[in-house]
Amino acid sequence: MTTFYYFIQSLPESMALIALSLALAQVPLRWGRIIISGALLSLLTFVIRALPVTFGFHLPISILVIFLLITKFAKVRPSKAIILVLSSFFILALVEMIVSNVYFAYTHMNYEQAITHEGSWAAVGFVQSIILNLIALIIARFFKPTRRA
Helix/strand/coil (H, E, C) string of 93-121?
HHHHHHHHHHHHHHHCCCHHHHHHCHHHH
Q: In which residue ranges of the chain is pLDDT below 70? A: 1, 147-149
Can you give the pLDDT at residue 148?
59
Angle at 135 between CA 118 and CA 36, to 5 degrees: 65
Can you give the pLDDT at residue 63?
94
Can you give the pLDDT at residue 149?
57
The pTM of the full predicted model, rounded to 2 decimals, is: 0.90
